């Protein structure tokens, strides 16, 4: 039996507001950290403990004039989100989260398509950039199937800054992925 959260209903999209911050923090945490995240396939629980984000960080994104925190809702419930930040010659894509019980049903593809559409429509961006923990092979493969390419450009994980989690291993780093939006 399919759960209601894996509904085939099409999501509606809107920009987040300050009132959405608690629900968005809970969504992001549920998708990436702790045992609840293991229901879905995007968990980072084997790589990181601690938090993925916090209310201050999410509110800063909501209030940034160069950013959009896109919210996806199905039947009035927040089921996914992503952060888009205009950075001149590209848009940065981050804070992508889909409710674990809604993963695997195509919702993430719809959110990414809307994010790419907004990047072109709002900022005329020719490319989308993101960083992914390089050890996340399954997730990187998912992005590659959506047209993103690995660049081999690495950046360090912020070890010692628990706002981004508590690493469970010493070799974490981020890889830059890029997609031309044409």
Per-domain residue ranges of the chain: 13-180
CA gap 54, 24 in Å, rounded: 9
Q: Average pLDDT over the chain, rounded to whole?
A: 91
Question: Is the per-residue pLDDT at 4 higher than 60?
Answer: no
Whether the full predicted model's pTM is greater than 0.85, yes or no, is yes
Does domain 13-180 bear CATH number 3.40.630.30?
yes
Beta bridge partners of 77: 74
**pLDDT score, position 39:** 79
**pLDDT score, position 120:** 97
pLDDT interval class at 8 (50, 70, 90)? low
Query: Which residue has better confidence, 135 or 182?
Result: 135
Stretch 77-84: mean pLDDT: 97
Helices (H), the chain: 21-32, 55-63, 107-123, 137-145
Residue carrying the six token digits 């998708």: 31
Question: Is the per-residue pLDDT at 5 higher than 50?
Answer: no
The model's pLDDT over 141-159, given as tens digits with 9 standing for 90+, comes to: 999 999 999 999 999 999 9
CA gap 13, 111 in Å, rounded: 8
**128: which DSSP letter?**
E
The model's pLDDT over 14-61, given as tens digits with 9 standing for 90+, comes to: 999 999 999 999 999 998 887 777 877 878 888 888 888 999 999 999
**pLDDT score, position 2:** 37
**pLDDT score, position 42:** 77
pLDDT interval class at 9 (50, 70, 90)? confident
Question: Which pairs from 34-41 meet CB under 8 Å and 24+ separation?
Answer: 36/100, 37/100, 38/100, 39/100, 39/101, 39/103, 40/98, 40/99, 40/100, 40/101, 40/103, 40/104, 41/103, 41/104, 41/138
């Amino acid at each position: 039996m399919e759960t209601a959260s894996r509904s085939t209903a099409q999501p509606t999209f809107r920009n987040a507001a300050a009132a959405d911050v608690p629900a968005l923090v809970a969504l992001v945490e549920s998708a990436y950290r702790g045992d609840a995240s293991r229901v879905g396939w995007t968990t980072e629980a084997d790589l990181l403990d601690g938090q993925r984000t916090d209310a201050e960080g999410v509110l800063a994104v909501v209030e940034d004039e160069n950013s959009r925190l896109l919210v996806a809702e199905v039947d009035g419930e927040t089921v996914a989100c992503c952060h888009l930040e205009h950075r001149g010659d590209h848009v940065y894509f981050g804070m992508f989260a889909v409710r674990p019980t809604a993963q695997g049903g195509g919702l993430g593809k719809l959110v990414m398509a809307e994010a790419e559409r907004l990047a072109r429509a709002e900022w005329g961006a020719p490319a989308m950039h993101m960083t992914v923990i390089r050890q996340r092979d399954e997730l990187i493969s998912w992005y590659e199937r959506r047209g993103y390419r690995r660049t081999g450009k690495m950046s360090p994980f912020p070890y010692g800054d628990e706002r981004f989690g508590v690493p469970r291993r010493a070799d974490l780093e981020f890889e830059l992925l890029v997609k031309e939006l044409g």
